[in-house]
Amino acid sequence: DQTGKELARYKLTEQGSHTGIVISSLRRNNGNWDFTALGHACRGRTIDDMHSDIVSAVIR
């Protein structure tokens, strides 16, 4: 953030065929921004490839 505080850290040590990661969600809430760390591993190299994984990670 603007104070230099770390908001999220991920150790990318998971085994498997994952090629992407949904790092976080950022949502507007009553004039403020809400940041939620997710760290959801998925498959794909582009946003089009990962669209369904992104939606399922963010809308839980």
Query: What digits encode the pLDDT tens for the residues 7-35?
Result: 777 777 767 888 888 888 989 999 999 98
pLDDT of residue 1: 64
By the 8 A CB rule, do 54 and 25 touch? no
Residue given tokens 């969600």 in the structure block = 25
| Residue-averaged pLDDT of the chain | 85
Predicted structure pTM score: 0.65
**pLDDT band of 60, cuts 50, 70, 90:** low
Stated as kind and residue range, the H or E segment containing 21 is: strand 20-29
3-state secondary structure of 53: helix
